[in-house]
């Protein structure tokens, strides 16, 4: 099913929950709503579900406006962070509940529930009470209850947040596989960018009720359109510097305090029109420690003193002070960087991002 | 699993649910407003009656039977010493209850919540049973207990039958199971580590209770105090049963005597006395709304 | 003393208490003594005003004590009072009255209306719901004498009664009009019901408000109508509060009589609205021909006390009492 949101807004007594959201979801697509808590992603989801009434704009399913359609008539299934299983019913009672509400024949109910639990691998739990299940099992029951209706649209509200890290990994793959196999259009709300990047076909990044960007994961990472998206997508987050772009000897250079970098002209040209300072973004992984294997090149290095070293296992996350400006970089742990070392970093300037400090819009990917 | 075609009832549900919801809301408000009408009418009459010579239904009537007849004469009782005596008795009972129930419940509740001793379980279950049990049925026997207490030399006159002290003692005892149970609940919620720390620092159990634990349950104690004050202030059955005559009567008993006198009742004056008695309650009602609703949910007595 | 767990041992070590091997009888006695020091005032009062009167009531029911032979030594007369009670010509009527009163009030108001009020006030905006619940608290807050005064005026005959002035022709129960003398039960049940409903309302409200929002959202998405949500989700989830109110209020209605005493005193006429608890009270304290029949009153009371204790035991079971009494985590000191 195709879903279109047009200028969708929701506010309560002047408090804005979602502001002018416009996006479309293709049939069979899995779209993630990504953003920090309070960004309006759950509000938007609940409007799609029909639990909240929009204060403005429209929601359409397959071209039909459904604003006034009751949740039960929207053909949706929903999975909750808290699972929202009915504690006084058994697993069978929970999964069969939507079908019982549709007043289906007993035999058909049994058959369809069986089909779903077989698919979810929870067939032996049918007579258990909810309190007797583990978190992962509860999550599967919750998913089963959403699927048993054969919904046109699946809504996930942070479904994996309450699971431990390993189980989350397993369930992530399972949900993705199920969704692709069944081809059900899905909206997946999460604050976890890794979840969004790995599962979603497209990601809608939201902040303060506003849709910041809506694109495929790689595009969000490589070509962030706003300062917020650049800072939010990617872990550890992108470093930002206030720099001035100056043109000298045919080169474009970004200058500020201890920073003096040559920027590729295709990127810098777009930024040169801005008078005064611009915001330069540099991901922690786009630098390398200067040593024998990667020699320094004039205009492509930064030097500074390490202030913090956090071992992450495969790499070290190193905080470097460059003439008073703090920057985080990822360094191969075999290099053995220690606190207090003076290090020289080779910068991959072809990955540099540039933003207008006023509008916070990208100067490269308008 | 196959995906079916568009859910069949996608469109027709639209405007219908909207209208239905509106109707539901109207029905809800209509029901609620209707439900409180008798309560509001009762109070409306009380206020109208206190300001008029006589009333028919909710209408004040003057001497000729027309609408009117407003007067402040019903409030003349303010200068009568009998009512101030009754008010003093009411106040004494209420304050004695706040103190008595407060002390006995915080001490008892603490022991039941926090100390290990022989007989703990028995006392706990007894408290719970007595909390559910209605003591009105014991009044006949308590009558004899009070008469015997009255025979104790020196203090007997103050705690026996037909004394304010005796009434207060009975009222304290009747509220105790509730008080202990509530305070035990409040102590149950306090962290153990704080108490352990105080014990390590060398405090005695009594000091821990007095200096560390009591300040933590202050909100609970305040709620219990408000509850017992109202119970004491409104007490009718116990003072009515265990007092004779006007000297030891509290406000409710005084008021009931105004009604049950052999002479025809002056309803308007009775209404004024009733409203007068409610002054502190109205103040509580206005300023402690949230608290009142909470404490009456905490396990109140009464039907 | 069972083997202390590691955690308990740690806790004991933390407060510097001796381990099991050094525990002496003296210490155990001392800790119990200090606990009883805290419990002392409460225990004394409970003994004097609950335990002793309970025993006394039982003894009284086997005597013939009345204000006529008050100064004589107590005379044990066996089961004569009980025989008299069950052969009393008004016994069937009083029993019928009691059952009718308790269950009608319970079902219509203390449970029924309470539940409806809780459901309705939790489904409208919070502040509005709060306001209505607050107004419903008023009867409970009003002194019983004043509260009954209002109802007596509402139910008075023409021309004073408020009901008859507002609705002169509707809902007539007696002679075209509804008034206290004409249909006393209506007013007995209304007065008690308006007090009783608020308690259940408050308890049910907090139970309903603690149902996670997600559950209701899930039910809506699953296709449940408002009615099905109430039936399938809300009611099953407040099963325990419902059961609690049912037992607690049965007990309350059975044993309390203050409002009936003030409203009708069992009348009008002979035993029209007299319930068991009121009979017990009146036999003992309202003199029949100048004679307070304490022993006979006690007999009526002791029967009720027995029923009440049985119900209270059921109530304690329902409360899952054993789960409520957690063992203290600081041991003998």
- Chain B residues lying within 8 Å of C165, measured CB to CB: 56-59
| Residues B129 and B228 placed together within one structural domain of the fold | yes
Same domain? A152 vs A271:
no
- Here the CATH number for the domain that contains residue C257 is 1.10.3720.10
- Select from B50, B71, B92 the last residue of a domain: B71
Residues A51 and A167 in one domain: yes
Check whether residue A52 and residue A125 sit in a common domain.
yes
pLDDT tens digits along C225-261: 888 999 999 999 998 889 888 888 898 899 889 999 9
The pLDDT value given to residue C42: 92
Contact (CB<8Å) C221/A101: no
User: Could you tell me the pLDDT band of residue C321, with boundaries at 50, 70 and 90?
Assistant: low
Q: Is the pLDDT of residue C10 over 50?
A: no
The 10s digit of each residue's pLDDT in C111-136 is: 999 999 999 999 888 889 999 999 99
Of A166, A199, A232, the last residue of a domain is A232
ipTM of the shown complex: 0.85
Residue C12 pLDDT: 45
Is the per-residue pLDDT at C18 higher than 70?
no
Classify residue C139: in a domain, yes or no.
Answer: yes
Quick check: C15 and B56 CB within 8 A? no
Q: Which residues of A are less than 8 Å from C232 in CB distance?
A: 86, 97
What is the model's pLDDT at position C5?
A: 46
**Which domain range does residue A309 map to?**
239-355
Report residue B99 as tokens.
């103190």
Q: Does residue A360 lie in a domain region?
A: no
B34 lies in the same domain as B171: no
Give the domain range for residue C156. 91-273
Q: Give A73 to chain C, closest Cα distance, Å.
A: 7
How many structural domains are present in chain B?
2
pLDDT of residue C102: 94
Residues A215 and A285 in one domain: no
Region C156-170 average pLDDT: 71
Name the domain count of chain A.
2
| CB of B212 closer than 8 Å to CB of B200 | no
Q: Quote the pTM value.
A: 0.80
Is B148 found in the same domain as B52?
no
Q: Assess A81–C contact: CB distance below 8 Å, yes or no.
A: yes
Radius of gyration of chain C (CA): 26
* A324 falls within a domain: yes
Average pLDDT of the residues in C38-53? 91
Question: Are A52 and A26 in contact, with CB atoms under 8 Å apart?
Answer: no
Q: What is the mean pLDDT of chain A?
A: 88
Per-residue model confidence as pLDDT tens for chain B (303 residues)? 443 333 333 444 445 566 777 888 889 999 999 999 999 999 999 998 888 888 877 777 777 777 777 888 888 888 888 889 999 999 999 999 999 999 999 999 999 988 888 888 888 888 888 887 778 889 999 998 998 898 888 888 888 888 889 999 999 999 999 899 889 988 888 888 777 777 777 777 888 888 888 888 888 899 899 999 999 999 999 999 898 888 888 999 998 888 865 667 788 888 899 999 999 999 988 888 888 887 776 543 332
Does the pLDDT of residue C9 top 50, yes or no? no
A139 pLDDT more than 70: yes
Q: Could you tell me if A53 lies within 8 Å of chain C, comparing CB atoms? A: no
Residues B132 and B206 both lie in one domain = yes
Indicate if A281 and A211 belong to the same structural domain. no
Same domain, A99 and A228: yes
Per-residue model confidence (pLDDT) at position B299? 43
Q: Which residues constitute the domain of residue B244?
A: 79-297
Residues B285 and B208 in one domain: yes
At A159, which CATH number? Answer: 3.40.50.300
B38 min Cα distance to partner chain C (Å): 8
Locate the chain C residue with the closest alpha carbon to B242.
C285
- State whether B45 and B180 are in the same domain: no
| Predicted local confidence at residue B262, as pLDDT | 63
DSSP state string for chain B: ----SS-TTTTTHHHHHHHHHHHHHHHHHHHHHHHHHHHHHHHHHHHHHHTBSEEETTEEE-TTSSB--B-SGGGGGGG-HHHHHHHHHHHHHHHHHHHHHHHHHHHHHHHHHH---TTHHHHHHHHHHHHHS-GGGGHHHHHHHHHHHHTSTTTHHHHSTTSHHHHHHHHHHHHHHHHHHHHHHHHHTS-HHHHHHHHHTT--HHHIIIIIIHHHTHHHHHHHHHHHHHHHHH--HHHHHH--SSTT--HHHHHHHHHHSSSPP-HHHHHHHHHHHTHHHHHHHHH-HHHHHHHHHTT----
Query: What mean pLDDT comes out for the span C138-160?
Result: 86
Q: Which residue in A70, A147, A184 is closest to B17 by CB distance? A: A70
Q: Are B194 and B288 in the same domain?
A: yes
In a domain, B3, yes or no: no
Same domain, A20 and A150: yes
Q: How many CB pairs under 8 A join A and B?
A: 46
pLDDT in tens, A273-284: 777 788 999 999
In a domain, A363, yes or no: no
Q: How many CB pairs under 8 A join B and C?
A: 324
- Rounded mean pLDDT of C294-306? 91
Q: What is the pLDDT of residue A73?
A: 84
Q: Please state which of the ranges A96-110, C162-176, C208-222 shows the lowest mean pLDDT.
A: C162-176
The answer to whether residues A227 and A305 belong to one domain is no
Same domain for B198 and B118: yes
Same domain, yes or no: B28 and B116: no
Nearest neighbour of B137 by CB, restricted to C132, C261, C301? C301
Nearest C-alpha in A relative to B15: A68
- Considering the domain architecture, whether residues B49 and B167 belong to the same structural domain is answered as no
B17 touches chain C (CB under 8 A): no
Specify whether A39 is located in the same domain as A149.
yes
pLDDT band at C24 (very low <50, low <70, confident <90, very high): low
Residue ending a domain, among B22, B49, B71, is B71
pLDDT in tens, A75-121: 899 999 888 899 889 999 999 998 988 889 999 999 999 999 998 88
Nearest CA of chain C to the CA of B20: how many Å? 11
- pLDDT of B211 reads 82
Judgement on whether residues A246 and A323 belong to the same structural domain of the protein: yes
Res C115: pLDDT: 95
Share of chain C above pLDDT 90, in %: 36
Interface of A with B (CB under 8 A): 1, 61-62, 64, 66-70, 73-75, 115-116, 119, 147, 150, 152, 182-184
Q: What is the pLDDT of residues C178-210, one digit of tens each?
A: 666 778 888 899 999 999 999 999 989 988 998
Q: Is residue B198 part of a domain?
A: yes
Contacts of B17 in chain A (CB under 8 A): 68-70
Residue B7 lies in a domain: no
Coil vs helix vs strand at C290: coil
The predicted pLDDT at position B8 comes to: 39
Question: How distant is the Cα of B57 from the closest Cα of chain C, in angstroms?
Answer: 4
Residues 94-153 of B with CB under 8 A from C: 100, 103-105, 107-108, 110-121, 123-126, 128-130, 132-145, 149
pLDDT at site C333: 45
> Are A195 and A259 part of one and the same domain?
no
CATH number at residue B171: 1.10.3720.10
Same domain, B87 and B63: no
Same domain? For A46 and A108 the reply is yes
Total domain count, chain C: 1
If pLDDT is split at 50, 70 and 90, which confidence band does C19 have?
A: very low
């Amino acid at each position: 099913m195709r879903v279109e949101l047009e200028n969708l807004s929701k506010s309560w007594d002047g408090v804005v929950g979602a502001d002018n959201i416009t996006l479309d979801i293709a049939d069979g697509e899995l779209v993630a709503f990504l953003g920090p808590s309070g960004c309006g992603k759950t509000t938007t989801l609940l409007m799609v579900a029909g639990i909240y009434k929009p204060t403005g704009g429209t929601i359409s399913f397959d071209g039909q406006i459904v604003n006034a359609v009751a949740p039960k008539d929207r053909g949706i299934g929903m999975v909750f962070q808290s699972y929202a299983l009915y504690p006084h019913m058994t697993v069978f009672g929970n999964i069969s509940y939507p079908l019982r509400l549709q007043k289906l024949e007993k035999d058909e109910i049994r058959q369809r529930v069986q089909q779903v639990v077989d698919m979810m691998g929870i067939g032996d739990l049918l007579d258990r009470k909810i309190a007797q299940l583990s978190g992962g099992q509860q999550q599967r029951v919750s998913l089963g209850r959403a699927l048993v209706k054969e919904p046109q649209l699946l809504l996930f509200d942070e479904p994996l947040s309450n699971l431990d890290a390993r189980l989350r990994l397993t369930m992530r793959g399972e949900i993705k596989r199920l969704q692709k196999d069944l081809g059900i259009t899905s909206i997946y709300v999460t604050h976890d960018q890794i979840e969004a990047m790995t599962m979603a076909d497209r990601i809608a990044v939201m902040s303060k009720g506003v849709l910041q960007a809506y694109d495929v994961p790689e595009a969000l990472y490589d070509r962030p359109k706003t300062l917020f998206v650049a800072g939010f997508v990617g872990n550890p987050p992108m470093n930002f510097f206030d720099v001035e772009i100056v043109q000298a000897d045919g080169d474009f250079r970004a200058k500020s305090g201890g920073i003096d970098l040559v920027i590729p002209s295709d990127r810098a040209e777009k930024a040169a029109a801005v008078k005064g300072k611009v915001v330069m973004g540099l991901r922690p992984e786009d630098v390398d420690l200067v040593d024998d294997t990667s020699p320094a090149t004039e205009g492509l290095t930064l030097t500074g003193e390490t202030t913090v070293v956090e071992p992450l296992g495969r790499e070290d996350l190193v905080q470097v002070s460059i003439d008073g400006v703090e920057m985080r970089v990822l360094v191969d742990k075999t290099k053995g960087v220690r606190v207090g070392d003076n290090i020289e970093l080779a910068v991959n300037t072809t990955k540099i991002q540039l933003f207008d400090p006023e509008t916070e819009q990208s100067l490269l990917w308008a | 699993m196959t995906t079916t075609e568009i859910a069949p009832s996608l469109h027709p549900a639209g405007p219908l649910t909207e209208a239905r919801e509106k109707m539901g809301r109207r029905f809800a408000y209509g029901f609620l407003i209707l439900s409180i009408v008798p309560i509001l009418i009762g109070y409306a009459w009380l206020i109208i009656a206190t300001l008029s010579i006589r009333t028919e239904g909710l209408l004040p009537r003057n001497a000729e039977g027309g609408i009117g007849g407003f007067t402040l004469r019903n409030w003349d009782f303010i200068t009568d010493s009998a009512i101030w005596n009754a008010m003093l008795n009411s106040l004494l009972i209420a304050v004695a209850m706040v103190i008595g129930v407060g002390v006995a419940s915080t001490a008892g509740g603490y022991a039941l919540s926090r100390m290990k001793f022989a007989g703990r379980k028995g006392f706990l279950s007894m408290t719970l049973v007595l909390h559910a049990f209605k003591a009105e049925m014991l009044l006949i026997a308590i009558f004899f207990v009070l008469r015997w207490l009255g025979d104790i030399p020196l203090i007997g006159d103050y705690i026996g039958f037909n004394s304010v002290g005796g009434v207060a003692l009975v009222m304290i005892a009747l509220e105790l199971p509730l008080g202990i149970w509530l305070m035990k609940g409040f102590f149950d919620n306090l962290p153990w580590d704080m108490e352990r720390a105080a014990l390590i620092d060398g405090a005695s159990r009594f000091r821990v209770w007095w200096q560390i634990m009591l300040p933590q349950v202050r909100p609970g104690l305040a709620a219990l105090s408000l509850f017992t004050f109202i119970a004491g202030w409104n007490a009718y059955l116990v003072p009515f049963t265990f007092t004779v005559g006007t000297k030891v009567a509290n406000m409710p008993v005084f008021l009931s005597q105004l009604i049950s006198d052999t002479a025809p009742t002056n309803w308007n004056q009775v209404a004024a006395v009733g409203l007068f008695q409610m002054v502190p309650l109205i103040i509580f009602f206005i300023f402690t709304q949230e608290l009142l609703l909470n404490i009456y949910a905490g396990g109140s007595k009464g039907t | 003393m069972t083997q202390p767990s590691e955690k308990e041992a740690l806790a004991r070590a933390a407060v510097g208490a001796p381990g099991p091997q050094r525990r002496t009888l003296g210490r155990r006695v001392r800790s119990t003594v200090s606990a009883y020091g805290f419990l002392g005032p409460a225990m004394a009062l409970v003994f004097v005003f609950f335990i002793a009167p309970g025993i006394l009531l039982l003894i009284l029911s086997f005597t013939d004590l009345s204000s006529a032979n008050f100064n004589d030594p107590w005379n044990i007369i066996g089961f004569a009072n009980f025989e008299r009670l069950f052969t009393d010509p008004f016994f069937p009527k009083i029993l019928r009255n009691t059952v009718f009163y308790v269950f009608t009030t319970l079902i219509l108001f203390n449970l029924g209306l309470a539940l409806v009020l809780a459901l309705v006030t939790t489904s409208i905006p919070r502040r509005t719901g709060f306001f209505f619940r607050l107004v419903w608290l008023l009867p409970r807050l009003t002194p019983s004498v004043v509260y009954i005064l209002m109802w007596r005026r509402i139910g008075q005959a023409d021309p004073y009664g408020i009901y008859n002035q507002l609705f002169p022709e509707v809902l007539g129960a007696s002679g075209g009009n509804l008034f206290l003398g004409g249909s006393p039960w209506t007013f007995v049940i209304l007065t008690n019901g308006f007090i009783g409903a608020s308690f259940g309302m408050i308890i049910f409200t907090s139970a309903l408000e603690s149902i996670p929002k997600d559950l209701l959202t899930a039910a809506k998405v699953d296709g449940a109508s408002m009615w099905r949500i109430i039936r399938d989700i809300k009611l099953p989830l407040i099963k325990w509060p419902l059961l609690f109110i049912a037992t607690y209020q049965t007990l309350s209605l059975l044993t309390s009589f203050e409002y009936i005493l003030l409203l009708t005193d069992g009348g009008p006429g002979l035993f029209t609205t007299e319930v068991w608890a009121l009979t017990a009270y009146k036999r003992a304290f309202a003199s029949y021909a100048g004679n307070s029949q304490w022993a006979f009153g006690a007999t009526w009371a002791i029967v009720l006390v027995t029923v009440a204790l049985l119900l209270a035991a059921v109530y304690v079971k329902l409360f899952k009492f054993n789960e409520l009494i957690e063992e203290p985590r600081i041991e003998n000191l």
